[in-house]
Amino acid sequence: MSLPFEKPIDDLEAKITDMRSYAEEQGIDLSEEIGLLERRLEQLKRDTFANITRWQRVQVARIAGRPTGLDYVANVFTDFEELHGDRTLGDDPALVTGLARLGEQTVIVMAQQKGRDTKENILRNFGMMHPSGYRKAMRMFDLADKFRLPIIAMVDTPGAYPGLSAEEQGQAWVISECIQRMSRLKVPAISLVIGEGGSGGALAIAVANRVLILENAIYSVISPESCAAIRWRDSSEAPQAAEALKLTAYDLLDLNVVDRVIDEPLGGAHKEVDATMAIVKSVLLQELGDLLKLDEVSLLEQRRARFRALGRFEEVLEAA
Amino acid sequence: MSLPFEKPIDDLEAKITDMRSYAEEQGIDLSEEIGLLERRLEQLKRDTFANITRWQRVQVARIAGRPTGLDYVANVFTDFEELHGDRTLGDDPALVTGLARLGEQTVIVMAQQKGRDTKENILRNFGMMHPSGYRKAMRMFDLADKFRLPIIAMVDTPGAYPGLSAEEQGQAWVISECIQRMSRLKVPAISLVIGEGGSGGALAIAVANRVLILENAIYSVISPESCAAIRWRDSSEAPQAAEALKLTAYDLLDLNVVDRVIDEPLGGAHKEVDATMAIVKSVLLQELGDLLKLDEVSLLEQRRARFRALGRFEEVLEAA
Amino acid sequence: MTLERWFRRKKPTKGDDDSSPVGLWLKCESCNAQIYRKDLVANLYVCPECQHHYQMPVDARLELLLDEGSFEQWSGHIQATDPLEFVDQEAYADKLKAAQEKHHRKDAIVTGSGLLNGLPVALSVMDFFFLGGSMGSVVGEEIARAVERAADEDRAFIAVTASGGARMQEGALSLMQMAKTTVALERLAEKHLPFISLLTDPTTGGTTASFATLGDIIIAEPKALICFAGPRVIQQTIKQELPEGFQRSEFLLEKGMLDDVLERSKLKDKFAAYIRLLSGKVPQVTLEAEHVATL
Amino acid sequence: MTLERWFRRKKPTKGDDDSSPVGLWLKCESCNAQIYRKDLVANLYVCPECQHHYQMPVDARLELLLDEGSFEQWSGHIQATDPLEFVDQEAYADKLKAAQEKHHRKDAIVTGSGLLNGLPVALSVMDFFFLGGSMGSVVGEEIARAVERAADEDRAFIAVTASGGARMQEGALSLMQMAKTTVALERLAEKHLPFISLLTDPTTGGTTASFATLGDIIIAEPKALICFAGPRVIQQTIKQELPEGFQRSEFLLEKGMLDDVLERSKLKDKFAAYIRLLSGKVPQVTLEAEHVATL
Ligand SMILES: [Zn+2]
Ligand SMILES: [Zn+2]
């Protein structure tokens, strides 16, 4: 559950624990020394995370033990009732959907779910959705519009499933339809990238009024591995590709791809899950509160304008 | 191509043909005799069709050589461009859909197609639609609403396909959705039963502002054969079942299930296809002309009220 | 009375032939265990041994879903008229009359209002024992009226289905009830009121292919047969055995057609949760106060 | 010039490496026939022997679809800025510059207006030879602007796609073009103007999963590769050979994803027919006059 660059932190944490039990065993007072070490630990964490590379960030975003979609559903929301099925093709376990409360407000929550162990990974197809998952999302959009319930979508996927059955069932068609359908929502929509925002498979549920991202989450047009395989012809160049792709939370904020970065507890969301949940809940409550002030037309126009404006280019004088 | 009860007509027709060639061969004038026979033939046809049983009507509705959906598409409409696929599951050949002109008006035309020979029967699954066919119909409803094009639907099916794959893909779900979707159309919709209107599989594309039926077509909650198998425990009792089900055009007019019966040329649509097409075209033009005078809200309300009102029951004083 | 009548039946059949004798014990049709009938009833008509869900009489269903004493019946003011003068081996008129007398209701449906964990609801419950729960003009009209009244009274609507499909003795008029019930639901939708559909064993044909599958939320009881074409019809079409569990609730959940399969004992609380959540309209006041409290 | 450049390529590849020598003859990649290059061009880049549809240069495509001399170019007033300062084995900025010089355009797209059998249309044509027709900020913006201007000028819109997907050198900004092009289409929809999408070989990834598959009518050229995930990616996932014809136009037509597969020579007239039909709005005058005439 630890990454190589986290080793010095883990070592120091272990040392402090050692010293504490030693002091207790021997009945001597080492509180001053321990206090000193704890301050050093905090500084070490701060320095480490301030300087980690984009590739290390990718690893944190994917680390086992990092809270998954269902963890947020369980801890940020209350009264969750899961709803199943797309009424067309199936029920995709890679996207969990249902009704829940965020504070006092009923919302429709959807979460891409990667799985928390090997068994769940397989059940959830590692968070890679099939067309039926996107159709389920669209069914939820319909329900949201009908009952005027805001949408909260948690994004965490390596990408839409690139398989035979998915292509046969029109993966491209259903993603474009999902993008369009979400852009037409008459209710507030917030998407939050909690881990990995993988390409079109992520975007399909992230055409929201507000797109948020956790500090150590990533959002990219392609995985660093695939990018490296294509552009460097060597997937082991993934660290370089991650650097080039500018896929971290603050990179994306600079590019206006996301609207807000939610800082994680020091050391990452997986180190302090409860604190992470509390922060996410308070941010979502505040963001939703703001959006609930807008009427249907404003919500639609704001969402449309937001995505219409994305991209970087310059005007030139002579046409070519 | 002839039914048993049509035999006297066929015999007389053959006799007249014989006499004509005899007169020509021999160079004698038999025009008076032939004229007499022709008047007798017309009377015979009139008497025969005035008195045929409901079961005979069922047989006429299904007779080989009776114009099929595609015959109407080709002869009543112009500029037909077929559109394929439901963008979800497949392209169902049992329902032909596309853009066409009826007079000067572009319409979206859809026709259940049984097939005109064994090969086409198999290709078209005998006009029994799969869920993808109903989804294709719904795609056409969307297109109709978007481009404000009226819907003309030709009904001719033994029923929705009762097979394994159809059930797996939610045949019941897609039929109810199709009924609902058609009831919500913002444009004029006319359905015309041209042959066999088989149960829910037919109704799904017959939730129209005006439901028309050809004189020798039928429209029923169940086929006479299946009804006989269930209620008489013997499918050979189909003639009795047909009688009991009151499934002919004028029966249905009495019950308000259809709004208008289109009389066929004497002897049935299969005897004079061109004349049938001309009659159908003129009726559709007139009906569409009337509906085009109504605005969106009136069309919706009229359609809803039409179906809300169907059924026969009596009020009772004491509740039970 | 109703429960007693139910006892005469051992397993779901056409619903118009229930002459089997009443006994104190029955053999579970699913696990073969000997069950004391009283225990079965006390256990909501669910086998205490294997959890097999038996069909439930209408009265017991109302008792299950509604708060005690809250039910007010709406249905029962209309009756069928035999518009086709339908006769097979027996006249429809006679059959109908016999069913009415035996089951003490006008047709295969009961509708009304009540409270569900204190929430105002309206509901329709089909009676499979009355001519196989078939939908003719009266069943369609009762459902349509109940849905519309629910809309007028701002009640969530619950439809409990158990039906062999459209009633063929009323011909095309029965078929039209599929469209009638569907358009009636528009009133409910316009008022943003929830429609929960509960599919119970068996729900087939024209009932499945109309209002039953148009619920905002669709729930089925375990192992219920739910289909458009019945298994026998399909077997005749494809000339081969159907896979185990085909057209049963669990299969349909997997195929994406249901929101959930729920045990009978959980239905009431789940329905209350759905209705409460779906009624959570966007409030005019913002959530800022709570936000501050959370920080 | 454009046609000549095309000749340097024998088969579709990445589009950024076309150094093969120019010859008078080529061997058809589908039927192996020796074809005189001039005949191929005269035959709309379709093999005269086997009807294999080769990729078509942008200029030839415009000539194919528009009435002579009617094209007015809209695109070309913006260019990419390398917002990520992306460098792999080569700098994106350099690569872009080289492509611009070689292909004499700013990016992998041309948009503009014209007449199609006399009908006013606007269109966007992707250039697969320019960095694989990849969609970055400029391609997305050009499409969005063209769609919006088409709406303002009451023109039907035709999108001709040929693209390797999103341009990875612009990272998440390229991904966002999928949403941008999609929301731009709303303007067209609001004016009830037709959007015809023509998918040509190859159309993949983020292009397929956005505006390309949102056409009111979607047409593909014969045997075009059209997919979300490319065949190689899928093979890596499933570790087995893909079926013959998988992800090709004819396969997708069967799967319900296309309205039709049309030969290149038929496109213009068919598009005219679609546009005329879809423009046939409900007229204010009724059809009574004609009705009387018909009777
Ligand atoms: Zn049991
Ligand atoms: Zn060739």
Q: What is the pLDDT of residue D22?
A: 54
- pLDDT category of residue A140 using cuts at 50, 70 and 90: very high
- Quick one: residue C165, left, alpha or beta (phi over 0 = left, psi -120 to 50 = alpha)? left
Do chain C and D touch: 3 or more Cβ pairs under 8 angstroms?
no
| Min Cα–Cα distance to chain A from B159, Å | 20
Residue A50 scores a pLDDT above 80: yes
What secondary structure does DSSP assign to D195-258, as a single string?
A: EEEEEEEEE-HHHHTTGGG--SEEEE-TT-BB-SS-HHHHHHHH-SPPPTTTTBHHHHHHTT--
Give C280's contacts in chain A (Cβ within 8 Å). 101, 104-106, 149
DSSP C21: P
What is the C29 CA–ligand 1 centroid distance (Å)?
Answer: 7
DSSP lists the bridge partners of residue B107 as B100
Of all ligands present, the nearest one to the C-alpha of D29 is: 2
Closest to A262 in 3D by CA, of A281, A247, A290, A243: A281
**Which long-range contacts link C3-8 to residues 24+ away (Cβ below 8 Å)?**
C3/C41, C3/C57, C3/C59, C3/C60, C5/C57, C5/C102, C5/C103, C5/C129, C6/C55, C6/C57, C6/C60, C6/C129, C7/C37
Instruction: Kindly list the residues from chain B whose CB atom is less than 8 angstroms away from the CB atom of residue D192.
Output: 146-148
**3 state DSSP class of C90:** coil
What three-state secondary structure class fits B204? coil
Model confidence, pTM: 0.93
Q: Is the pLDDT of residue A51 over 90?
A: no
Rounded to the nearest angstrom, the minimum Cα separation between B237 and chain C is 10
Is the CB of C277 less than 8 angstroms away from the CB of A289? no
Cα(D32) to ligand 2 centroid in Å equals: 6
Question: Is the pLDDT assigned to residue C289 strictly greater than 90?
Answer: no
Beta bridge partners of A314: D79
H or E element in which residue A275 lies:
helix A273-291
Which chain D residues contact residue B95 at CB under 8 A? none
Predicted local confidence at residue A61, as pLDDT: 94
- Inter-chain touch D291–B104, beta carbons under 8 Å: no
Partner A contacted by D213 (CB < 8 A)? yes
**Cis peptide preceding C202, ω within 30 of 0:** yes
C-alpha of residue B85 to centroid of ligand 2, in Å: 29
**Does this complex have an ipTM over 0.85?**
yes
The answer as to CATH 3.40.50.300 being correct for domain A58-308 is no
Q: pLDDT digit string (tens) for D171-201?
A: 999 999 999 999 999 999 999 999 999 999 9
Which residues of chain B, if any, have pLDDT below 50? none
A199: left (phi over 0), alpha (psi -120 to 50) or beta: left
Cα C223 to ligand 1 centroid, rounded to whole Å: 13
pLDDT tier, D239 (very low <50, low <70, confident <90, very high otherwise) = confident
Question: Please, are residues D80 and D170 in contact by the beta-carbon 8 Å criterion?
Answer: yes
According to the model, what pLDDT value does residue C11 have?
Answer: 44
**Nearest C-alpha in C relative to A104:** C287
Within an 8 Å CB–CB cutoff, is residue B294 touching chain D?
no
- CA geometry: angle B125, B127, B132, nearest 5 deg: 75
Strands (E), chain C: 25-27, 34-36, 72-73, 78-80, 109-116, 119-126, 156-163, 195-203, 217-220, 260-261
Mapping DSSP to helix (H, G, I), strand (E, B) and coil, where does residue B4 land?
helix
The percent of residues in chain D predicted with pLDDT above 70, rounded, is 87
Give percent of chain C above pLDDT 90. 82
Nearest CA in chain A to C257: A87
Helices (runs of H) and strands (runs of E) counted in chain D: 11, 10
Output the average pLDDT for chain A: 95
Is residue D3 within 8 angstroms of chain A, CB to CB? no
D262 pLDDT higher than 60: yes
Residue D46 alpha carbon to ligand 2 centre in Å: 8
pLDDT tens, position by position, A237-288: 999 999 999 999 999 999 999 999 999 998 899 999 999 999 999 999 999 9
What SS3 state is found at A253? helix
The one-letter code for the residue type at A242 is A
> pLDDT confidence of C15, banded at 50, 70, 90?
very low
The alpha carbon of C109 and the centre of ligand 1 are apart by a number of angstroms equal to 28
Hey, how many other C-beta atoms are within 10 angstroms of the C-beta on A289? 20
A85, A132, A286 member nearest C259 (Cβ) = A85
Cβ–Cβ of B180/C182 closer than 8 Å?
yes
A230 residue type, one letter: I
Model pLDDT for residues A70-119, shown as the tens digit of each residue: 999 999 999 999 999 999 999 999 999 999 999 999 999 999 999 999 99
In chain B, which residues have their Cβ closer than 8 Å to the Cβ of A177?
A: 87
B224 SS3 class: helix
pLDDT reading at A3 higher than 80: yes
**What type of residue is B91?**
D
Residues of D in contact with A203 (CB under 8 A): 175-176, 178-179
N- to C-terminal Cα distance for chain B?
54
Q: How many CB atoms lie within 10 A of CB A16?
A: 16
Q: Do residue B176 and residue C209 have CB atoms under 8 angstroms apart?
A: yes
| Two tokens, residue D74 | 């809209």
Tell me the chain D residues in contact with residue B91 when contact means C-beta distances shorter than 8 Å.
253-256
- Report the distance separating Cα A206 and Cα A215, nearest Å: 17
Mutate to test the interface with A, among B88, B173, B174, B177 (most CBs of A within 10 A): B88
Token output for C17: 């032939």
Q: How far is the CA of C260 from the centre of ligand 1 (A)?
A: 22
Note whether C touches B: 3 CB pairs or more under 8 A. Answer: yes
Q: Which chains touch A (3 or more CB pairs under 8 A)?
A: B, C, D
Looking at CA atoms only, how far is residue A292 from chain C in angstroms? 7
Q: What is the CA radius of gyration of chain C?
A: 20
Q: What is the pLDDT of residue C24?
A: 86
Structure token digits, residue B138: 């719904």
Q: For residues D200 and D203, what is the distance between their CA atoms, to the nearest angstrom?
A: 6
The first and second tokens of residue A269, run together, are: 């969301």
Select from B87, B167, B88 the least CA-distant residue to B130: B167
Tell me how far apart the alpha carbons of residues B172 and C165 are, in angstroms, rounded to a whole number: 11
Residue C9 has pLDDT above 80, yes or no: no
| A contact set with B (CB within 8 A) | 87-89, 169-170, 173, 177
Q: What is the mean pLDDT of residues C95-99?
A: 97
- Residue C283 with chain A: CB contacts under 8 Å: 104-105, 292
Structural domain spans, chain B? 4-51, 58-308
User: In the structure encoding, which two tokens stand for residue A243, read together?
Assistant: 């650097």
Residue of B nearest to C251 (CA): B168
Averaged over A13-19, what is the pLDDT? 91
Q: Is residue D182 a contact partner of residue A176, using CB atoms and an 8 Å limit?
A: yes
pLDDT at B54: 95
Higher pLDDT: A177 or C287? It is A177
Q: What is the structure's pLDDT at C287?
A: 40
- Tell me, yes or no, if D226 comes closer than 8 A to chain A by beta carbon: yes
Ligand nearest to the CA of D54: 2
Distance D52 CA to ligand 2 centre (A): 5
Residues A87, B169: C-beta atoms closer than 8 Å: no
Would you say A234 and A256 are in contact if contact means Cβ atoms under 8 Å apart? no
Q: Can you tell me the mean pLDDT for A6-24? A: 91
Q: Domains in chain D, start-ordered, CATH in brackets?
A: 1-52 (no CATH), 55-281 (3.90.226.10)
Give the integer Cα–Cα distance in Å for C42 and C118.
23
